[in-house]
Amino acid sequence: MSVRIVVADDHPVFRHGLRAALAGVRDLEVVGEAADGASAVRLAVEEQADVVLMDLQMPGTSGLDAIRELATSAPRIAVVVLTMFDNDESLFTAMRAGARGYLVKGASEEQIVRAILTVADGDVVFGSGAAGRALAYFSAAKPSTRAARPFPELTDRELDVLRLLAEGANNSTIASSLHLSDKTVRNYVASILTKLQAEDRAQATVRALHAGFGRTDDPATS
């Protein structure tokens, strides 16, 4: 089954060029183009997209607002940011909003295709240098903030998933408990591993247990 893609960018030449580049790639199908964030969200939902390639700066509803909307209303849809902005603020803001990938325009067709396939499979991907900066950012969280709320870098829903991981639940059990699809759970787990700098589920579970998750006085539920 092909990965269904929406391309969101306010420059029509760039959109058409990207669509043409992806047209010949096996297992990829561009199902829509959007010139602003609101259209991107609408098309992604209507066309049942798997991935949105999202510019950050667009007129009207911005790419960041669109990412936040999709993360809330359609978390199974993965977003890869494709932008001119190669700076920490844009990267971290996009990650907090819910982006699963971050590439700078100028990335090769091969890099873009690999990013699409990676996030469609439930993983996360960042361009050259971005991953290291992201990990450094999240490891620099203030101790006082951590004490007030375990893993402040995680969203509330990611904390729900992490709590179930700490209880030994697999993806199917988590999906059933939280009324999510298996793919959405995979997306959440991938995001948790990235934000916690965990190599795998086991390492994330250990960190969760050390923070008190999985007990009757679990901080995620207190």
28 and 96 in a common domain: yes
Question: 158: how many CB neighbours lie within 10 A of its CB?
Answer: 19
- What's the number of domains the chain is made of? 2
204 and 145 in a common domain: yes
Domain extent for 57: 3-135
Ranges of the chain with pLDDT below 50: 141-147, 216-217, 222
Q: Is 52 left (phi over 0), alpha (psi -120 to 50) or beta?
A: beta
CATH code of the domain in which 17 resides? 3.40.50.2300
**Segment 78-91, tens digit of pLDDT:** 999 999 887 777 88
- Say if CB 116 and CB 5 are below 8 A apart: yes
97 and 32 in a common domain: yes
Q: What percent of the chain has pLDDT over 90?
A: 41
Residue 219 counted as domain residue: no
